Amino acid sequence: MLTTHHPRRSCSRLAVMFVVAVSAAVMSAGTVADTLNIYSARQEALIKPLLDRFSNETGVEVNLVTGSGDALITRLTREGRNSPADVLLTSDAGRLYRARQAGVLQPVSSDALTAAVPENLRSPDNLWYGLSVRARVLIIAPERVNTDELQDYEDLADPQWKGRICVRSSGNIYNQSLVAGMLAQKDRAQTQAWLDGFVRNFARPPQGGDRDQIKAVAAGQCDVALVNSYYFGAMLQSDNEEERRAAEQVELLWPNQSNRGVHINISGAGVIRASEQPDLARELIEFLVREDSQQWYAETNNEYPVRDSVSPSRLLQSWGDFKADDLDVSELGRLNAQAVMAMDRANWK
């Protein structure tokens, strides 16, 4: 019985292998056509229109999967050399740093990229490039805040702000990168002392998103909130009258203008190591930093362009010029874990 079974089994096994091999060969032949596969931590609505524009212009078909940055990096790591992805898009510098550490990116460079993206907003080894800039600003209730007393993030640790500050949870990446940015420029003890004082001044336990903090300032629950600038912009342009009214009651304040500058983070992109068409992938990134694309970021998402040559939208200009922290944004990724630990110790929920 057993002996008669064996040959037949190995025969069928061979047949299965053959089918697998042939279909695999066919499949890989099929993907040679001009398509780019993208893993994106940026949400579809915030990137798809631009990708569609790229497709229309070049005829390259663009496929998209969105998800959280860390999960996508895990997927990339696991897929290894067989990953179908060509480009990784992220919505913060920390994830780019981690993708680099995980070894899932390959270097690409071109004059267009180095000319467009300032040095502190790309990796020194050409593994990733910043695409747009988001600033973490202060939102204040003008009638309750004396701007002489509030100039820097650092001021918010002062006891006079007790019960007057709203901010979201420390699980939020932009809060983490703000603290990481501080750790990069001050020593640990200073940062921890600032955190302790800052957390003691919260008007309420951290909750909700950035828009909720702005609404809370407008409603009088607190006097100062820490938010990303584009949320303020989106509220000012909102179809919802209530949101618009709330945003109109408050003002934007650029912190740290007389010293290191306002904290910024970036969205960015890198080419996946497994990609067999790095040139096409590079073309996409070049397209994303091109002037018209950069304009689109500013106008549609209320983000700041990475290119100095592109002026932001009228709304963004109305908030005035500002000085941005010129810290190498890789540092935000390197110090992210330390920042989270410091926030844990300060009991920032």
Partner 1 sequence: MEIAAGAELTAKKPRRISLWRGGMLVTSLVIALPVLVIIGSLFGDYSPAWEHLIETVLGDYVVNSLLLMLGVGAGTLLLGVSAAWLTAMCDFPGRRFFSWALLLPMAMPAYIIAYTYTGMLDYAGPVQSLLRDTFGWRYGDYWFPEIRSLGGAVCMLSLVLYPYTYLLVRVAFQEQSTAVLEASRSLGKTLPATFFRVALPLARPAIAAGVSLALMETLADYGTVSYFGVSAFTTGIFRTWYGLGELQTAAQLAAFLMLFVFILFILERQSRRRLRFYRTGTRQPPRRIVLRGWRAITAAGLASAILIAGFLLPASQLTVWVLQDPLRAAEPAFLQLAGNSFLLAAIAAACCLLLALFLGYGKRLFPGFAQTTANGVVSMGYAVPGTVIAVGVLIPFTWFDNVVDGWLRQTMGVSSGLLLSGTLGALVFAYVVRFLSVSLQTVESGLARIRPSIDESARSLGYAPLSLLQRIHIPMLRGSLLTALLLVFVDVLKELPTTLILRPFNFNTLAVRAHELASDERLADAALPALAIVLIGLLPVILLTRNLASDNAAS
Among 49, 80, 103, 142, binds partner 1 (CB under 8 A): 80
Site string for partner 1, 86-115 (x = CB under 8 A): ------------x-----------------
Rank residues 63 and 160 by Cβ distance to partner 1 and give the closer one: 63
Query: Environment class of residue 128 by beta-carbon count within 10 Å: exposed (0-12), middle (13-18) or buried (19+)?
Result: buried
Q: How many CA atoms lie within 13 A of 309 on its CB side?
A: 8
Among 194, 231, 297, 322, binds partner 1 (CB under 8 A): 231
Give the separation between CA 235 and CA 59, rounded to whole angstroms.
36
Q: Is 261 in the site for partner 1 (CB under 8 A)?
A: no
CB-based contact 304:312 (threshold 8 Å): yes
Among 204, 257, 290, 299, binds partner 1 (CB under 8 A): 204
Among 209, 251, 278, 286, binds partner 1 (CB under 8 A): 209
Nearest-5° angle of CA 114, CA 117, CA 47?
120
Among 53, 58, 67, 193, binds partner 1 (CB under 8 A): 67
Q: Is 277 in the site for partner 1 (CB under 8 A)?
A: no
Q: How many CA atoms lie within 13 A of 113 on its CB side?
A: 26
Helix, strand, coil shares of the chain as percentages rounded to 5? Answer: 50, 15, 30
Rank residues 69 and 270 by Cβ distance to partner 1 and give the closer one: 69
Q: What is the DSSP string of 50-95?
A: HHHHHHHHH--EEEEEE--HHHHHHHHHHHGGG----EEEESSHHH
Please report, as a single letter, which amino acid is at residue 133: V
> Least distance (Å) from partner 1 to the CB of residue 276?
10
**Residues contributing to the site for partner 1 (CB under 8 A):** 17, 20-21, 24-25, 27-28, 37, 43-46, 63-72, 74-75, 78-84, 98, 168-171, 173, 176, 204-212, 215-216, 218-221, 231, 234, 239-240, 242, 246, 336-337, 340-341, 344-345, 349
